[in-house]
């Protein structure tokens, strides 16, 4: 990773270069950007990774985001970032904001959050006394 790719560099700083490279390689292996979004949306929850993805996008300039979103894997990473805070999508450059993939990511983030809330909710009829 080089300074040419600030989001990737920030992710590497947060997660460690090896872990970041493994994740980005996996996300880049999808055949196209929409598939990277769908694949990332199906990943198991990983708050540390999602927080690092969010921080990497939040620290980037709009120009940096626009440049890096030309790759397949960055759309997957943006999907993970939106799990941490969906408002990251509101910071996208205007040229990217109305992309259909953004709507897909927003729906995936909402579904993810709903799933987390359901998993944390107490189950009716569960015996809380031990």
91-103: pLDDT as tens digits? 999 999 999 999 9
The pLDDT value recorded for residue 117 is: 84
Q: Is residue 59 part of a domain?
A: yes
Q: Is residue 126 part of a domain?
A: no
Query: Is 35 buried (19+), middle (13-18) or exposed (0-12) by CB count in 10 A?
Result: middle
Q: Is residue 127 part of a domain?
A: no
Report the alpha-carbon distance of residue 105 to residue 79 in Å, rounded: 5
| pLDDT tens digits for range 37-76 | 999 999 999 999 999 999 999 999 999 999 999 999 999 9
Instruction: Please give the residue range of the domain that contains residue 57.
Output: 6-120
Query: Is 65 buried (19+), middle (13-18) or exposed (0-12) by CB count in 10 A?
Result: buried
Q: How many helices (H) and strands (E) would you count in the chain?
A: 8, 0
Tell me 129's DSSP state.
Answer: -
| pLDDT tens digits for range 102-121 | 999 999 999 999 988 888 87
Report how many domains make up the chain: 1
The pLDDT value recorded for residue 130 is: 47
């Amino acid at each position: 990773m080089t300074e040419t790719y600030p989001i990737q560099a920030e992710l590497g700083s947060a997660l460690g270069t090896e872990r970041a490279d493994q994740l980005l390689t996996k996300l880049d292996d999808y055949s196209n950007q929409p598939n990277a979004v769908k694949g990332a949306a199906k990943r198991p929850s990983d708050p540390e990774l999602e927080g690092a993805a969010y921080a990497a996008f939040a620290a980037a300039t709009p120009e940096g985001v626009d440049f890096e979103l030309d790759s397949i894997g960055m759309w997957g990473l943006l999907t993970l970032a939106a799990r941490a805070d969906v408002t990251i999508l509101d910071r996208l450059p205007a040229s990217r904001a109305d992309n259909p993939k953004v709507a897909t990511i927003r729906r995936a983030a909402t579904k993810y959050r709903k799933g987390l809330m359901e998993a944390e909710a107490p189950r009716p009829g569960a015996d809380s006394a031990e």
